[in-house]
Structure 1
Amino acid sequence: MNSTPTTPRIAIVGAGPGGLTCARVLQRHGVTVTVHDRESGPDVRDQGGSLDLHEDNGQIALREAGLLDAFLRASRPEGQEMRQLDPAGTVLFHHRPEEGERFKPEIDRGHLRDLLLDSLQPGTVRWGRTLISVDGPRGGPRRLRFADGTTVEADLVIGADGAWSKVRRAVSDAVPEYTGVSFLEAWFDDVDRRHPEIAALVGQGSAAGADGERGLFAQRNGGDHIRVYVIQKAAADWITDAGLTAQDTEGIRALLLKRFQAWSPALRRLITDNDGPYVHRPLHALPVPHVWRQDPAVTLLGDAAHLMPPLGVGVNLAMLDACELALAVARTDTVAEAVRVYEQTMIPRAHETQRLLDGGAEDLLSTELPDFAAADGP
């Protein structure tokens, strides 16, 4: 897209991996862009656990962003190690990455975000910008209204604002629905010294086990941390149904120990030995397929467009979406044409993946081995 006096005003909402990747690729092609994020700054909260970025999507986006080599230097290829256990603690499958294996190395979300933020031109991200709504005529310009009373006009609004996207409301009435499966996150710090048994159980990557109704997934993060996700089929408000609050760590732990009483003592440590409170994360997904009327001035990427169960594709697809959208903007004459080109590829791909993962939250509780176990490879 040529830089002319009519260069479009592009606003991205959401400074996650998808939004930042889109901004980075746009800037590499000389396109001006602003990112708005509701957080007050880049370090206001923990960014979450470890991500595996795949060669066939997430890494493609990083290559277009000029950041693939930096990612590979910062990533943890040893994080591709995977152990599948039964509730008795018996190892059913153990994948050890080969030397030089780079199909899906791990990186902490916070490290990935820093890598992307540091690559952007100063002032690209506007912090403390909580979006209230997007209005204005279909076809643009659109008006973004923020909680601080300010407004911004844009010729293209890109919704990269996640599961509960405010931008999505401008083009779709769809809202995420509870999948019937709930995560409860637990943290373990300084694991090699303070939790050596758990460190040995998890190894350098991840370890998982399930009995059909409940499961545990433990994941090594950088900085000698491990995150554990306690997975259950349950009502979305199962904690309050039990007469507890999210802050009642001891009460929740006692309830979990009852529910996991048949599991081995080694695995039950993943419930009892955590440092600090649990974090409740009920899993939601958008309707399958999620469709909307094309708007030449508004589009979506990542979870805003196709929220799915967390089965290893979310961030990868968000970054691929972001890359393809940015390239479409850079290579076409109008933002309307860029939206059309982008969505005609992104939406069918998202629908196919949505259909594959529909109901897939319950796969997290399956006693079957992962698909790649039979081939002894990822």
Structure 2
Amino acid sequence: MDTITIIGAGLGGLTLARVLHVHGNAATVYEAEPSPESRTQGGQLDIHEEDGQVALAAAGLTDGFRAIIHAGGQATRVLDSAATVLVDDPADADDVASGRPEVLRGDLRRLLLDSLPAETVRWGRKVASVSTRGDGRHEVRFADGSTVETDLLVGADGAWSRVRSLLTDASPEYTGVTFVETYLHDVDERHRATAALAGGGGMFAMAPGEGISTHRESGGVLHAYVQLRRPSDWVDALEASDDVLGRVAEEFAGWAPELLALVTDTDTAPVVRRIHQLPEGVRWDRVPGVTLVGDAAHLAPPAGDGANLAMFDGAQLALAIAAHPEDGEAALAEYETAMFARTADAGRDAREILDLCIGDSAPYGLAAFLGRATAAG
């Protein structure tokens, strides 16, 4: 393949570019964001031994990854709405050996960016359209009117992928769950009771239809996601409200004040995020010169797998290309066959985890799933 074009500078696209580079293959990544610092990159990620860490090893970045691990970040607590602790699982002393160490998404993205040659990523290039040429090549048109043609086009462009339209008409569906993102700063001084409940890693305070989860980040930060199972019209009204926090707090009436503080005392403006998924079992017939990685291919509700699968996709695609230097279609067919098989159950598994968190059995179903419940429901 003479030219390889990757749309999207998320973890999947950057891992693909890096592993291609390790094997002597150049690629260009186009990203809509104007710069690497234009927005925050989300919170903590647990990087799995069986996929995310394998991808980073293929990228030659294991040492760099270990340097950014959040020590103690794997600690897990499950609470009920009264702040009763049902599960208290401390982190292993050796976060790397325990299999799922935590890192900040922004730190991981920076590690990948810094590993690439200058000019690999072209910032501020928002895709307006994609099209197939008669010779099997593809054209990408950007919002600024510029275009590129490429032998291989890879959609690493997330949930609302433009590239996906070349392969399937499948599109994301609302799961019926919405997250509201908040932050508390300087928690060990300003919010001591909440900080004590949250502990040093992840906390999941759950009830049927709603929950509040947090992750401890460096610098005394608690990053929270308030979770609500609500219909779209309710979310429409929430987004249109002049008092988003007040409306959300009403839904948590009767919850322990130390937990409710994660809603009412946020130090940042709340961000409403509807959770979407692709239909179960999305597949496509092989289309020459184009494929997908990560959420563009198999979007599922957040359950700790998305980033890991995206990076693994990127690494596996790059390795397939390296293994078939003279036959790009053989590489794409090999990659897609394996990717379809390994992600077949990802959406179902993610939905099951989400239901454990805020379904009818919450929080006791999640406590039982973790296998360390200290109180019975």
TM-score, scaled to structure 1: 0.93
| Greater CA drift, 345-354 or 172-181 | 345-354
Partners of 2:89 and 2:134 in 1: CA distance: 51
Partners of 1:98 and 1:324 in 2: CA distance: 30
C-alpha deviation, 1:254, in angstroms: 2.3
CA RMSD of aligned residues (A): 1.7
Q: Is 1:50–2:47 an aligned residue pair?
A: no
Confirm or deny: 8 A CA contact 1:239 1:252 kept in the other structure: no
Partners of 2:23 and 2:235 in 1: CA distance: 49
Q: Is 1:128–2:124 an aligned residue pair?
A: yes
Partners of 2:194 and 2:103 in 1: CA distance: 20
Partner of 2:331: 338
Partners of 1:80 and 1:260 in 2: CA distance: 27
Confirm or deny: 8 A CA contact 1:84 1:94 kept in the other structure: yes
Identity %: 43
Partners of 2:219 and 2:327 in 1: CA distance: 45
Partners of 1:267 and 1:85 in 2: CA distance: 10
Residue by residue over 1:128-168, the C-alpha shift from the partner in whole angstroms, topping out at 9 and shown as x without a partner, is 11112221237621111111111111111011000000010
SS in 2 for 1:15: coil
Confirm or deny: 8 A CA contact 2:20 2:319 kept in the other structure: yes
**1:355 alignment partner, one of 341, 348, 355:** 348
C-alpha deviation, 1:48, in angstroms: 1.0
**1:262 alignment partner, one of 249, 254, 257:** 254
Confirm or deny: 8 A CA contact 1:138 1:295 kept in the other structure: no
| Greater CA drift, 317-326 or 212-221 | 212-221
1:81-120 → structure 2 map (5 Å cutoff): 81-102=75-96, 103-120=99-116
Partners of 2:349 and 2:133 in 1: CA distance: 36
C-alpha deviation, 1:237, in angstroms: 4.3
Counterpart residue identity of residue 76, structure 1: H
SS in 1 for 2:49: coil
Gaps of 5+ in 2: none
C-alpha deviation, 1:170, in angstroms: 1.0
| Greater CA drift, 214-223 or 322-331 | 214-223
**1:30 alignment partner, one of 20, 24, 33:** 24
| Greater CA drift, 224-233 or 300-309 | 224-233
Q: Is 1:374–2:377 an aligned residue pair?
A: no
1:66-85 → structure 2 map (5 Å cutoff): 66-85=60-79
Partners of 2:235 and 2:147 in 1: CA distance: 39
Partners of 1:358 and 1:97 in 2: CA distance: 26
SS in 1 for 2:282: coil
C-alpha deviation, 1:372, in angstroms: 5.5
Residue by residue over 1:320-343, the C-alpha shift from the partner in whole angstroms, topping out at 9 and shown as x without a partner, is 111000000111022211100101
Partner of 1:208: 204
Partners of 1:178 and 1:240 in 2: CA distance: 13
Gaps of 5+ in 1: 1-6
SS in 2 for 1:305: helix
C-alpha deviation, 1:358, in angstroms: 4.2
Confirm or deny: 8 A CA contact 2:5 2:28 kept in the other structure: yes
1:111-260 → structure 2 map (5 Å cutoff): 111-137=107-133, 140-241=136-237, 245=240, 248=242, 251-260=243-252
Partner of 1:3: none
Residue by residue over 1:51-82, the C-alpha shift from the partner in whole angstroms, topping out at 9 and shown as x without a partner, is 11011110000011011111111111310001
Partners of 1:223 and 1:170 in 2: CA distance: 44
Confirm or deny: 8 A CA contact 2:175 2:276 kept in the other structure: yes
Counterpart residue identity of residue 201, structure 1: L
TM-score, scaled to structure 2: 0.93
Counterpart residue identity of residue 12, structure 1: I
C-alpha deviation, 1:190, in angstroms: 2.4
Residues 200 and 288 of structure 1: CA distance in aligned 2, closer, same or farther (over 3 Å): same
| Greater CA drift, 195-204 or 85-94 | 195-204
SS in 1 for 2:215: strand
Partners of 2:195 and 2:283 in 1: CA distance: 44
Residue by residue over 1:242-292, the C-alpha shift from the partner in whole angstroms, topping out at 9 and shown as x without a partner, is 5x636x3xx222222322112112211111111121100010000001111
Confirm or deny: 8 A CA contact 2:32 2:125 kept in the other structure: yes
C-alpha deviation, 1:49, in angstroms: 1.0
Q: How many residues align structurally?
A: 366
Q: Is 1:292–2:289 an aligned residue pair?
A: no
Confirm or deny: 8 A CA contact 1:142 1:157 kept in the other structure: yes
